[in-house]
Structure 1
Amino acid sequence: MSEIVSLPRVTGLPWQGVHYFCTTRAGGVSTGEYATLNVGGRTDDDSSHVLENRRRLRAELPSDPCWLRQVHGNQVADADRPWAEPPAADAAVTTQAGRVLAILTADCLPVVIADGGGRALGLAHAGWRGLASGVLEASLDALRARVPDAEYWRAWVGPGIGQRNFEVGDDVHAAFVQRDAGAAPFFVAKREPGKWLADLPGLARHRLHAAGVRDIELSGHCTYGEPERFYSYRRERASGRLATVAWLRGEEG
């Protein structure tokens, strides 16, 4: 068995009852375009490398991650119910301590959501399609159903593509602005007609705030603009995947 090393990670401010982080591309065994900590099983990387990278991640977690089959939608899986295989969903929720939620990204946003007391936890995969279809709102609905007395919610928006590197077309602009005029400031028109620069983290924060989340932290990292630290599907189509994991600490931490 190869040596286990502490993985480089990105996280945010301390959070009562919650532990969370996003991996970087460092600390693994993959080579070439996937160097080094690619944990994406649906890539063309050597499967033995992906398995070793996932083993290294698992060594730093309290339990096996609850992986999802992400489809860029708004379905929310209940991670407290056993499943035989990863469900088709882009978010999951739990109220069980030590249950590790996990999603994969390579430009889309990982979004951690929990109540202030750390009793209910959600983790969402939010690209523009997921955001536009309401994956964050659906996650909050599922969480509020579990702790209806919670009055305070927090969110962390992890590394994703930044506005200066996220060019989109009129279809993406319309998907947000036609339904919510308040989303307009998060798009900057380019000189080329029909082209926009979209602020994905800003859109996520906007929608979270509208849904009643008042404490929202943005990581400030752009996956496209930091090639030494992150994978980016837009920058390199043969791209690895980052993992964001989160779990409730429980009384024992």
Structure 2
Amino acid sequence: MKITAEALSALPGIRHGFFTRQGGVSNGIYASLNCGVGSADERSHVSENRARVTAELGVAADQLATPYQVHSPDVAIVDAVWPTGEGPKADAVVTRRKGIAIGVGTADCGPVLFADGEAGVIGAAHAGWKGAFTGVLEATITAMESLGASRGRIVAVLGPTISKSAYEVGPEFRARFLDAAEVNARYFTLSTRADHHHFDLPAYIGSRLRSAGLGHVGDLALCTYADPERFFSYRRTTHAGEPDYGRLLHAISLTG
């Protein structure tokens, strides 16, 4: 049902999970642990799936805060949990409140969970190419620092994300990154299609996290596209011509 990272599990008072698509109640293309409020899945199924996630994290079913994700660099500081589906437009959440879980949904984009165990500050970021490019990771770290975290103590781990081999992009996409910095060329390799490249989103995310000076940066090195048994994938769904797709949930809580 969930995958954990050793570096986060080693921190006292913190529970986390990069949840797979397994262990839920949804059917069909949403089978089975679809936690996406924005999907066309039955709302009762999504609610039950999210409750199963909170149970794994040791918090009440109504104590899960996820934002309304818009591929932005914006971060919400969580002091109290909002009703499901009514979160602020943001792509990361941070908190120092115990007894609640914060999380983000993905279906190929990079989920990053953060924690400073000593300060008791946690974070979760949804880092697609646009969010990572415009600074959502750095903004998450800054927001955690505003709550008392120290970046030198922060552990950050990247969960299941689309891999370079499955992520083909056009020339305009690559040009955007090269215009920002020539060094970004290292994240692209030529595709078999003319004027197309493969983009290494996990490597790009990891590089930005390491450049931020964190205490530890990890990567589960799992591809959402290549593993349909465990993960939802927007790109795989698009290639298959399916009408919708489920969303994975990645969440963290302070319990100590």
TM-score by length of 1: 0.89
Distance 1:45 1:82, change over 3 A: closer
**Is contact 1:118–1:248 with CA below 8 Å preserved after alignment?**
no
CA RMSD of aligned residues (A): 1.8
1:58 maps to what in 2? 54
**Structure 1 CA distance for aligned equivalents of residues 163 and 206 of structure 2:** 13
**Is contact 1:183–1:206 with CA below 8 Å preserved after alignment?**
no
1:248 maps to what in 2? 254
**Structure 2 CA distance for aligned equivalents of residues 108 and 126 of structure 1:** 6
Distance 1:150 1:50, change over 3 A: closer
Please, which moves more after superposition, 221-230 or 177-186?
Answer: 177-186
**Is contact 1:187–1:199 with CA below 8 Å preserved after alignment?**
yes
| TM-superposed deviation, 1:222 | 0.3
Q: What SS is found at the alignment partner of 1:33?
A: helix
| TM-superposed deviation, 1:149 | 5.2
Residue 219 of structure 2 is aligned to residue 218 of structure 1: yes
1:176 maps to what in 2? 177
| TM-superposed deviation, 1:172 | 2.5
Question: Deviations for 1:39-76, whole angstroms, at most 9, x for unmatched residues?
Answer: 11111212222222222223323141102100000110
Distance 1:30 1:187, change over 3 A: same
2:69 maps to what in 1? 70
Residue 10 of structure 2 is aligned to residue 15 of structure 1: yes
Q: What SS is found at the alignment partner of 1:93?
A: strand
Distance 1:216 1:70, change over 3 A: same
TM-score by length of 2: 0.88
Q: What SS is found at the alignment partner of 2:38?
A: coil
- Mapping 1:117-156, distance limit 5 Å: 117-147=118-148, 151-156=152-157
**Runs of at least 5 residues in structure 2 that lack an aligned partner in the other structure:** 239-243
1:3 maps to what in 2? none
Query: How many pairs are equivalent?
Result: 243
- Mapping 1:176-195, distance limit 5 Å: 176-195=177-196
| TM-superposed deviation, 1:126 | 0.5
Instruction: Give the helix-richer structure, 1 or 2.
Output: 2
Please, which moves more after superposition, 68-77 or 151-160?
Answer: 151-160
| TM-superposed deviation, 1:201 | 0.9
Look up the equivalent residue of 2:185 and give its one-letter code.
Answer: A
**Structure 2 CA distance for aligned equivalents of residues 240 and 249 of structure 1:** 28
| TM-superposed deviation, 1:89 | 0.4
**Is contact 2:5–2:157 with CA below 8 Å preserved after alignment?**
yes
**Runs of at least 5 residues in structure 1 that lack an aligned partner in the other structure:** 1-7
Please, which moves more after superposition, 196-205 or 148-157?
Answer: 148-157
Distance 1:231 1:146, change over 3 A: same
Look up the equivalent residue of 1:77 and give its one-letter code.
Answer: A
Q: What SS is found at the alignment partner of 2:125?
A: strand
2:22 maps to what in 1? 26
**Structure 2 CA distance for aligned equivalents of residues 214 and 95 of structure 1:** 19
Q: Percent identity?
A: 39
Residue 199 of structure 2 is aligned to residue 203 of structure 1: no
| TM-superposed deviation, 1:168 | 1.3
1:38 maps to what in 2? 34
Q: What SS is found at the alignment partner of 2:56?
A: coil
| TM-superposed deviation, 1:181 | 2.9
**Is contact 2:152–2:214 with CA below 8 Å preserved after alignment?**
no
Question: Deviations for 1:165-199, whole angstroms, at most 9, x for unmatched residues?
Answer: 01112233233332233322111122433311111
**Structure 2 CA distance for aligned equivalents of residues 240 and 22 of structure 1:** 15
Question: Deviations for 1:141-161, whole angstroms, at most 9, x for unmatched residues?
Answer: 111222265532221000010
**Structure 1 CA distance for aligned equivalents of residues 100 and 45 of structure 2:** 25
